[in-house]
Amino acid sequence: MTAQLLDLPEPQTDLPLPEKEIMPHAQSQNDFSPTNTVKTLLSWKAPGRPFRKRGKQFYINSLLIMLLVEIILFLFSQYLLMLVVLSLVFVAFALASVPPHDFHYRISTQGITIEDHFFLWQELYDFYFKKRDGIEVLHIRTYAFIPGELTITLGDVHKEHAKSVLLPYLPYREYIKPTIMEKSADWLSRNFPLEKAKT
């Protein structure tokens, strides 16, 4: 007795496959758009603030000026101001003698990261460069009153390289009018330097 084979219908191959079978591992097209990917444009390490080692002359001249101011305040019985002057000189000496540790800076397509603090491009206003103690410093102003301005040392990063990275996101200010405090500080440092400039 021979077995008879049943004629089964052939499967149709011209039907479209379900979506999950066509692209089982792909997501929507928006998930792969460039706007949703964060790309690091520039990353570097540099000291947290401009630092220049001071000589003995700086500390001696600062102490002499402090003593003169303290005597004048004592004659006018301004004891509270005497404490303020002492505290300011102490802070100045601490900043001049203790070098800052290195910060990690990162500029990405989303914003700027300084250590653990992140700032979106929408929070930043514009940027400019200024030299302090012979060190090129990047200043980025913010819309918010606090912090108001980000001060970033460039370290080994060239000024023009940093500018080319920032220009697509922030306007560049070629000149910033100095404040009265900055003008006064520059005038004092030029006419009454606390130490001789190294040649």
Instruction: Establish if 25 belongs to a structural domain.
Output: no
How far is residue 121's CA from residue 149's CA, in Å, rounded to a whole number? 13
| Tens of pLDDT, residues 81-135 | 999 999 999 998 998 888 889 999 999 999 999 998 999 999 999 999 998 877 8
Q: Is the pLDDT of residue 149 over 60?
A: yes
Looking at residue 52, its pLDDT comes to: 82
Percentage of the chain beyond pLDDT 70 is: 79
Whether 45 maps to a domain, the answer reads yes
**Do residues 85 and 73 make contact, with C-beta atoms less than 8 angstroms apart?**
yes
Q: The tokens 């500029």 sit on which residue?
A: 107
Domain presence at residue 168: yes
Domain assignment present for 17: no
Calculated CA dihedral for residues 184, 160, 173, 167, nearest 10 degrees: -150
Answer yes or no: is 119 within a domain.
yes
Confidence (pLDDT) at 23: 42
- Kindly report the average pLDDT of the chain as a whole number: 82
The pTM of the full predicted model, rounded to 2 decimals, is 0.68
**Residue 24's pLDDT band (boundaries 50, 70, 90)?**
very low
The number of distinct structural domains making up the chain is: 1
140-156 average pLDDT score: 91
* Class of residue 153 by CB neighbours under 10 A (exposed 0-12, middle 13-18, buried 19+): buried
Q: Three-state DSSP class for 43? A: strand
pLDDT reading at 146 higher than 90? no
Can you list the alpha helix ranges (DSSP code H) found in the chain?
A: 19-22, 56-75, 79-97, 159-166, 180-191
CA angle 156, 165, 99 (to 5 degrees): 30
Whether 69 is covered by a domain: the verdict is: yes
Residue 26 maps to a domain: no
Answer whether residue 34 is part of any domain.
no
Query: Range of 94's domain?
Result: 40-187
| pLDDT at 2 (0 to 100) | 47
Q: Are 153 and 47 in contact (CB under 8 A)?
A: yes
Look at residue 89 in the predicted model and tell me its pLDDT: 92
The pLDDT tens digits of the residues spanning 164-190 come to 999 999 999 998 888 888 888 788 777
